[in-house]
A and B are shown apart, each in its own frame.
Chain A
Amino acid sequence: MRIRRENQAITIIVFVVILLAVGLLHLILPEKDVSVEEKRHLRRFPELNFQDAKTGEQSVKIEGWFSDQFPFRSTLIEVGKGWRKIAFPNLNKDGMQIIPIDHDLTGEDNPDETDQPEPLVTDPADPLPSQTDGPIETEPPIIPTIEEGEVKSTKIGVIIIKDRAMERYYGNEKNLKAYGERLNKLAASLPSGTQLYSMVVPTAVELFAPDKYHSGYSSQKDCIEIINDTLKPDIKRVNAYDKLLQNRDKYIYFRTDHHWTGLGAYYAYVAHCESAGWTPVRLDQMEHYTLEGTYLGSLYRATKEDVLKNNPDTTEGWKPLVDSYKATAWDKGDMASSYQTRLNDERIVGDYSYLNYSGGDRALLKIVTSHASGRKILVVKDSFGNAFVPYLANHYDEIYVVDPRYYKRSLKTLVSENDIGEVMILNYMFGTSNSTWLKRFDAIAE
């Protein structure tokens, strides 16, 4: 009996001591700034103010701080993940699993919103191809302000097969047709004679997963057909799909990111050349480079799966064949400031690897090359376009790259003022239904 009571006392003491000790440890240990695994800043103890206290916001912030700064947090997270795997094992072959993620990856180029990399400005002393001057865009009429659209949070599944993560896609016929109609409307508003191209890029699941994973509602091939059938006949459909499919044994999509690689974008470039009447430059004709280190992309950030962490991506690219070019970037829609930048910047590594090709999503990128083909092109795109546009510098005199989420002026004006003869709309599957992109596109396409 005595031992029983002693045991009880000990249990009680152990319970309380652990709770106290951990709590004390939390207060004593210095605050941590970043979480390396989650690639974000960890919340600090908030500034106390009456307003927050009144609304209850203060408690939320304090709890956020308490959770983020919890002692041994990363170890505990590993224990939590391990517990799940052991107690509730996944019976799928190869550890295949579907993980819900609750945010749209369409806008995701940068890992941490608060930590944008400084635009790497070209050093004047840098041995870059010499600058050529081109016409600067003049002040266009003011476009009515676009209200901030609510980003529709799409809960989609990410499917992981072996060491590759892929976004699942489910088509909605209404949305697909609406996308096609948008392009028709743009074509009608542009000066006659402007050649429009439409390129829709599938997600990795279409190419790397067995057929049953992308059939029925999920067949992106069929969904692209629906878009193509809606387009007016004089809009050229660039068939990147087949080129990608034919080369899927190569490293054309990242495993830990939803984007395609420089190689994948190359095959899309080849498809564009077929539509546009260019002879594509071969890979061995361009200067090849590989970025230092490894890359863990958006799908790793969204799922935190170990199999992705242990098999990171590498990033490679090919520099376009051109004597010289000048690339000017306007990040914000007010076009107040611009800076010189370069394509295929090997200095951009690590988490920002995908940005090396032509930077991230921004209002406008204008590339003026030393070519004298007499042809200029405007690419209206989502983030998949960023890896694609450098290849256009193999041919075009001028390339304008616009992301509708940031660019606020009229596309028609941009096209007519700069005599742009070709316009390409480039989106990946989810871009065709991303409400932010579509809303802003409507506003600038008039």
Chain B
Amino acid sequence: MVFSSLIFLYMFLPLCLLAVWLTPKTSVQNAILLVFSLFFYAWGEPIYVVLMITTSFVIWLSSFFLNRSRSKGKRRFWLIVAIVIALSSLAYFKYAGFFVEILNVIPFINFKVPDISLPIGISFYTFQALTYIIDLYRGEIAMQRSFWRFLLYVTLFPQLIAGPIVRYADVEVQLSKRRITLNGVTSGIGRFLAGLAKKVLIANYAAEIVEVCLESDHFGQISSATAILGILAYAIQIYFDFSGYSDMAIGLGYMFGFHFLENFNYPYISSTITEFWRRWHISLSTFFRDYLYIPLGGNRRHRIRNTFIVWFLTGLWHGASINFVIWGLYYFAILMFERTFILPAKTRIPKVFGHLLTMLAVLFGWSIFYFTEPTGFFTFMGRLFAPGLAGFADIEAQILWRQHLVFIIIAIIGSTPLLPWLKIRLKRPLNRIVSSRVGTVLQPLGVVLLLLVCTASLAASSYNPFIYFRF
């Protein structure tokens, strides 16, 4: 099931909210949430729900033995067991086919490439389970005595399918003690609706532009301007899709009394790639930093090797295809470059210039990310830099740009922190409204209007793609 669907909004969610809100005891709420979460996952993966439960049980059991062991050697043993099992499961389901394809490149080797379907969310829940066992090993958290509470942590539906990657340490206390407040729920609703709007109103529209520009049967003959529009739309799509989904996840969390950490912080205003990765998919980069980079030695020992490994795996995490690995290493190269040449001289480079360069680098990066086949990528590059008969901007490009220009501009503005900036500037008048009778009408009205427009868009389109869904 996905959040941006009619059945989630009008069947699953209201029932879940009511069931949870009407039960005062946290332990009963947990049971309800667990049932709903498993149902939510099983809805899309009726078989693999068992895999998720089994993986969680194995990790939890390892944590039980790890907890009981006194000696460092024994503790490490159980840690390794848990990590190996978790990563093997992920490696098999996600990467087995890819590994075989790589092997087949070697002459005389020709294994049949297995066709394994990827269980939804496996990349996310596997990493979440790992944060638990690793932090337990480090003594930063206590073992979760209740398997059910641990399972709830892994499968909690707000963050199950597409993140953010919630660290166990961040919700350890909340699992047994949390308060659902008027404030929390209201901001949760607002956050959720904002995310829904981002996904349904912006990301889905951008996806249509990507389709008409980069997926047509005459892709090999498009003009440069069409290619640019396509990749720009893709950058918009992937940001609003993914950050919108994280917004919905965080908003839903609030509605149930959970507080998740932010996953995006307006990445498209970054003036360096280093800054970009502190603002994009924050939970993933912090995961790799804390659980891979630092254990490997971090800044202190073998910095370049460690950085390389982290970015290789970041790329690989995004997909079982060579272009994703290249994408990760692409950022590795830029980050190394920035660290050596740019950052020390940072104060001397005008921010606007840095921002422009960063966005160009990001757009180029998205083109590596988007084209899983090399022919597609090279055709795209050709259309961009060596335009053929269609030239820089043919009639199709002119029509398309005029057709979608307003949307592009609005989307770009929406990717900047304009709204939070306004919120701070207008803090006093806003405060007065929410505490007045005007707010009594305006607030619910805002909810109704947003729901109406989002529902209308959902009803109109059978096209509801979800990029980060394949993780």
Contacts and interface: CB of A to CB of B under 8 A. Distances in A.
B28 interface: no
B213 to A, nearest CB: 9
Interface stretch (B100-108, B372-380, B454-462): B454-462
B410 interface: yes
B85 interface: no
Interface in B439-460: 439-440, 443-444, 447-448, 451-453, 455-460
B399 A159 contact: yes
Nearest to B11: A23
B376 to A, nearest CB: 14
Contact of B10 (A26, A79, A92, A213): A26
Interface in A140-189: 154-157, 159, 168, 170
A157 B45 contact: no
B47 A54 contact: yes
Interface in B415-446: 434-437, 439-440, 443-444
B1 A59 contact: yes
B218 A170 contact: yes
A336 interface: no
A116 interface: no
A414 interface: no
Nearest to A101: B212
A283 interface: no
Given A7-B434, A7-B435, A80-B460, A14 B448 contact: yes
Contact of B400 (A7, A83, A98): A98
A160 B462 CA distance: 22
Interface in B348-397: 389-390, 394-396
Nearest to B9: A19
A217 B17 CA distance: 56
Nearest to B410: A88
B14 A19 contact: yes
Contacts of A10: 440, 443-444
Interface in B212-236: 212, 215-218, 221
Nearest to A82: B456
Interface string B79-96: 000000000000000000
Contacts of B389: 216-217
A59 B437 CA distance: 44
Contacts of A425: none
* Most chain B Cβ neighbours within 10 Å, of A76, A80, A156, A213: A80
Interface of A is mostly: helix
B435 A12 contact: no
Contacts of B448: 14, 18
B65 interface: no
Contacts of B18: 16, 20
Contact of B183 (A8, A54, A67, A81): A8
A84 B209 CA distance: 13
A22 B10 contact: yes
Given A23-B10, A66-B6, A56 B434 contact: no
B54 interface: no
B261 interface: no
A70 B212 contact: no
A77 B221 contact: no
Nearest to B452: A79
A196 B253 CA distance: 71
B460 A76 contact: yes
Nearest to B200: A80
Contact of A217 (B218, B452, B453, B459): B218
Contacts of B443: 7-8, 10-11
Nearest to A152: B217
Contacts of B44: 56, 59
A43 B295 CA distance: 54
Nearest to B431: A4
A23 B43 CA distance: 18
B189 interface: yes
Contacts of B459: 67, 70, 73, 76-77, 80
Interface stretch (B121-129, B302-310, B317-325, B401-409): B401-409
A15 B406 contact: no
Contacts of A81: 460
* Most chain B Cβ neighbours within 10 Å, of A8, A22, A73, A92: A8
A88 B402 contact: no
B110 interface: no
B413 interface: no
A89 to B, nearest CB: 6
A401 B215 CA distance: 36
Contacts, number: 173
B441 to A, nearest CB: 9
A15 B346 CA distance: 48
A212 B456 contact: no
A16 B394 CA distance: 50
A98 B399 contact: yes
B294 interface: no
Contacts of A80: 453, 456-461
Interface in A185-226: 212-213, 216-217
A8 B435 CA distance: 9
Contacts of B297: none
B7 interface: yes
B185 interface: yes
Contacts of A54: 46-47
A97 interface: yes
Contacts of B461: 80
A23 B216 CA distance: 38
A55 B399 CA distance: 43
A180 B271 CA distance: 56
B264 interface: no
B471 to A, nearest CB: 18
A29 interface: no
A20 B14 contact: yes
A249 B158 CA distance: 59
A276 interface: no
Given A4-B435, A66-B6, A79 B218 contact: no
B460 A77 contact: yes
A14 B453 contact: no
A5 B447 CA distance: 16
A19 B447 CA distance: 11
Nearest to B18: A16
* Most chain A Cβ neighbours within 10 Å, of B11, B402, B435: B11
A155 B463 CA distance: 14
B438 to A, nearest CB: 9
Interface string A69-99: 0100100110111011001111110001111
B64 to A, nearest CB: 32
Contact of A156 (B1, B5, B217, B447): B217
* Most chain A Cβ neighbours within 10 Å, of B5, B183, B217, B405: B217
Contacts of A76: 455-456, 459-460
Contact of A59 (B43, B453, B457): B43
B221 A23 contact: no
Interface in B1-22: 1, 5-7, 9-11, 13-14, 17-18
A19 B444 contact: no
B205 interface: yes
B208 interface: yes
Given A23-B11, A76-B459, A100 B212 contact: yes
A112 interface: no
A9 interface: yes
B453 A91 contact: no
26 contacts: A3-B436, A3-B440, A11-B186, A15-B189, A15-B447, A15-B451, A18-B447, A18-B451, A19-B17, A56-B45, A56-B46, A62-B7, A76-B459, A80-B461, A83-B456, A83-B457, A87-B201, A96-B399, A102-B211, A159-B399, A170-B218, A212-B394, A213-B395, A216-B390, A216-B394, A217-B389
Pairs of residues from A and B, 6 with the lowest C-beta to C-beta distance, nearest first: A170-B218, A80-B460, A80-B456, A19-B14, A79-B456, A14-B444
Given A3-B437, A100-B212, 5 more contacts: A3-B440, A8-B182, A76-B459, A87-B201, A98-B400
